[in-house]
Amino acid sequence: MERIKIAQLGIGHNHGEEKMKAFRKYPEIFDVVGVCEPDPVWLERRKDLPGYEGLPFLTKEELFSIPGLQAISVEADVKDLDAAALECIERGYHIHMDKPGGENFREFEHLMTLAKKKRRVVQMGYMYRYNPAIRYALDLAIEGKLGEIFEIDTQMSTGHPLEFRQWLSSFSCGTMYIFGCHLLDMIFQVLGPNYQKLTPYLRKTRPEEVDLLDNALAVVEYPKATCTVRTTSVEVNGFGRRQLVICGTEGTVEVKPLEGPPTISVSFAKDNPPPWNDAKQFVEVPKMTGRYDIMVQDFAAYIRDEKRNPFDYDYEIALQKATLAACGLPTD
326, 218 Cβ separation under 8 angstroms: yes
pLDDT score of 322: 98
Rounded-to-10 torsion of CA 72, 77, 82, 84: -40
pLDDT score of 136: 97
Q: Map residue 181 onto helix, strand or coil.
A: helix
pLDDT score of 287: 87
pLDDT score of 112: 98
Architecture (CATH level 2) of domain 4-126+292-326: 3-Layer(aba) Sandwich (3.40)
| 3-state percent helix, strand, coil for the chain, nearest multiple of 5 | 35, 25, 40
Which helix (H) or strand (E) segment holds residue 149: the answer is strand 149-155
Closest CA to 152 of 181, 176, 186: 186
Per-residue pLDDT 10s for the chain (332 aa) are: 899 999 999 999 999 999 999 999 999 999 999 999 999 999 999 999 999 999 999 999 999 999 999 999 999 999 999 999 999 999 999 999 999 999 999 999 999 999 999 999 999 999 999 999 999 999 999 999 999 999 999 999 999 999 999 999 988 888 999 999 999 999 999 999 999 999 999 999 999 999 999 999 999 999 999 999 999 999 999 999 999 999 999 999 999 999 888 999 999 999 887 788 888 899 999 988 889 999 999 999 999 999 999 999 999 999 999 999 999 999 98
Strands 281-283 and 263-268: antiparallel
Provide CATH code, domain 132-283: 3.30.360.10
Distance, CA of 320 to chain centre: 11
Which helix (H) or strand (E) segment holds residue 32: the answer is strand 30-36
| Cα–Cα distance measured from residue 83 to residue 49, given in angstroms and rounded to the nearest whole number | 24
pLDDT score of 275: 81
| Cα–Cα distance measured from residue 214 to residue 233, given in angstroms and rounded to the nearest whole number | 5
Q: Map residue 54 onto helix, strand or coil.
A: coil
| Cα–Cα distance measured from residue 306 to residue 88, given in angstroms and rounded to the nearest whole number | 22
How far from 43 is each of 10, 46, 72, 184, CA to CA, in Å?
9, 6, 18, 32
Name the residue ranges covered by the structural domains of the chain: 4-126+292-326, 132-283
pLDDT score of 314: 98
pLDDT score of 264: 97
136, 261 Cβ separation under 8 angstroms: no
